[in-house]
Each structure stands twice: as structure tokens, then as C-alpha cells.
Amino acid sequence: MKILTPALYSAPCIKRLEKPVLTKDDCPYDASLIFNAGVAKYNGQYVMVFRNDYGPTEETFRKVPIRTSLGFATSADGIHWKVREKTMFDSASLVPGEELMRLYDPRITVIDNVPYLCLAMDTRHGVRGCIAKTDENFETISIISASAPDNRNMVLFPEKINGKYVRLERPFPKYSRGKDSFDIWLSTSPDLVFWGETELVLAVEDVPYANDKIGPAAPPIKTEKGWLTLFHAVDIDSERGKNGWEAAWKKRYCAGIMLLDLEDPTKIIGMSRQPLIAPEADYETEVGFRQQVIFPGGMILEPNGEVKIYYGASDTVECLATAHVDDLLALCTESRFA
């Protein structure tokens, strides 16, 4: 366990599984870094779409090109997963020179029993966030709408609110403020194509353990008290050195939690001023491509009140932590203002 300074720890209600739920060893194809998955319950089973960055090893990093595929896995219990032979997307099959360069960091939201994906999309002219439809077997990706650059980390709410689709998103306005300081925004749409009514939800300076950027994580889950909503929060320290394959990796990603108003989710009812999940386990802090990264992409509320939180760790493996919904709600009581 390697805890960076300033020391950050997970909330006591968080229980980790003893090891990651999915790694490269579970894949029947070329795989290296398996992380940042979207997870949902769909047609009586758990489904997962995960990111696989493959090609280089630690020794050949920056010499061998990185490819990205999106894999699909199913599970009966949300813990033991079977990866399908056929991927959903592979950057290796793109035509050289094509505008699209890769799709990654998938989230799944099922709305009226239709599964949708939110994806980050690298293109030759910028990073875009897109919303796509998939089929009931998760074999195809049909893009419905893609943002202008630079935007990423979109997540769709699981139902319309006041007759409109709603998404959280994280634009990164490079030139406006001279440094990374990227916040969480919300937009609505009548049809998943046209997006507007954009409002700021949470800013970096509202999160005491972030000093760099924040972004949406898993699609929110509905509770009687509000939309339980995860986000990721990044702090950076120029003194940090080698924490992974690169010469230096200076960032740490934690998961945060807040509660949004059911009728007006631009309103934060409360949040925790401490991280929900901070990097602590060895596979989060000691090994992997970019250590000290917790990047949640899926959250499921079970009938018994258990919440399953799926997150990529160290950009290398996919993990699961659980907590009771009442304990998570109890954390969301503080104001976002200090």
C-alpha cells in the first residue's frame, strides 16, 4: 500500500473485493490493460463493456503503438465474469487516416429496456463525447450524437426527467483559464441528439480533495432521497515521481459521491467532503500502468440495498467495491461550500 501525500482514505462503509473482478488474464484475445468499464443489469444478467489497451508492455511502452478495443462480458452474480470472444470495437480495424481514432471509457445506461453507451471518442480533430445505441446482444455501436471537442466522460441518467433525457458531462476548456480546471456540467435533450440547457453542477474548487479536474463517473442511481451520483476527482503534485510505466505520473484519481435533486439534478442536495474511494489496495497503488487511479464507471443498486461500484484501478484492472445505500446516502450530507 503506497499512500501519497496528502494522505486520502476510502470511506469506512466501502468494502473491496479481495482482488480485481476482471484482468487481461480473463480475455481470450490480445489484452493488456483492462479498465474503466461500464456495467448494468440487463435482461436478467449483469453486462459489462470494458476498455482494453493493448500492444506495448512496460518495456516496450512508447516504442509499440497502443491499440484500444472494447470488450463485452456477462455475469450471473456481478462478481464472476465471462468475456465474449468477439469485441465490440477495435482501433486496429480502423482504416489509416480515418477521422475516428478510438472509442474508450464506456458507460452503460439502460433506458426503457434499451441499452445505451456513452463513450469517449478520440478523433483527428479533438476529443469528443458520444452517445450510442447498442443492440440486445451488445454487438453493435450506432452513434446517435457526438459533442463538439473538447468534451468527455458523459453519463446518461437512467430515465427522462421532466420529459427530457439528461446527461452529466465534462468539457475541458483548455484555453479559458490557463490550467486544468475542468468541472461537471449537465445538459438535457428531447431526443438524445440535440443537447442544451447546459448548467454547471459541480466545480473543482468545491471538492476539497481535488486541485486539478473532476468528471462524471457512473450513471446515477435513483433513491427516494435523490440521485446518488459518483464522480472522479483528481489532485496533482509536481513532486510525485514514477508511479507506473511513465517516467513520472503526478496525478491521483479518487471517487467522490454527491446527491442530486430528483426533479432538478443541477441542484446538489449534499456531498461528502471526503473521498468515497481513495487508492489503497496494492493493485491501486503499487502496480500497473498509471498507479493511484480509481475511475468508476458502473454502479448498481441491488434489491437488498447493496450498491455495487465498479471501477478501473491504475488503468490496468477492473475492480468492485460495495457499500449499503443508506451508508452512501448518509455520506451526502455536507454542503459543497467550505
Rounded to a whole number of angstroms, the minimum distance from the CB of residue 116 to ligand BMA is 19
Closer Cβ to ligand BMA, 275 or 312, answer by number:
312
Asked if residue 150 has a cis previous peptide bond (ω within 30° of 0), the answer is yes
Closer Cβ to ligand BMA, 229 or 243, answer by number:
243
Q: How many CB atoms lie within 10 A of CB 161?
A: 18
Closer Cβ to ligand BMA, 232 or 331, answer by number:
232
Detail the DSSP E strand segments found in 20-150.
Answer: 33-42, 45-54, 67-75, 82-83, 89-90, 100-111, 114-123, 126-133, 142-146
Rounded to a whole number of angstroms, the minimum distance from the CB of residue 310 to ligand BMA is 13
**One-letter amino acid of 226:** G
Rounded to a whole number of angstroms, the minimum distance from the CB of residue 150 to ligand BMA is 11
Query: Where along the sequence are the contacts to ligand BMA (CB under 6 A)?
Result: 36, 105, 253, 290, 293, 295, 312, 315
CA dihedral 279, 219, 130, 45 (to 10 degrees): 100
Q: Is residue 249 within 8 Å of 314, Cβ to Cβ?
A: no
Strands 221-223 and 114-123, by their bridges, are unpaired
Closer Cβ to ligand BMA, 120 or 329, answer by number:
120
Euclidean distance between CA atoms 75 and 326, whole angstroms? 26
Rounded to a whole number of angstroms, the minimum distance from the CB of residue 278 to ligand BMA is 15
Closer Cβ to ligand BMA, 106 or 226, answer by number:
106
Rounded to a whole number of angstroms, the minimum distance from the CB of residue 34 to ligand BMA is 12
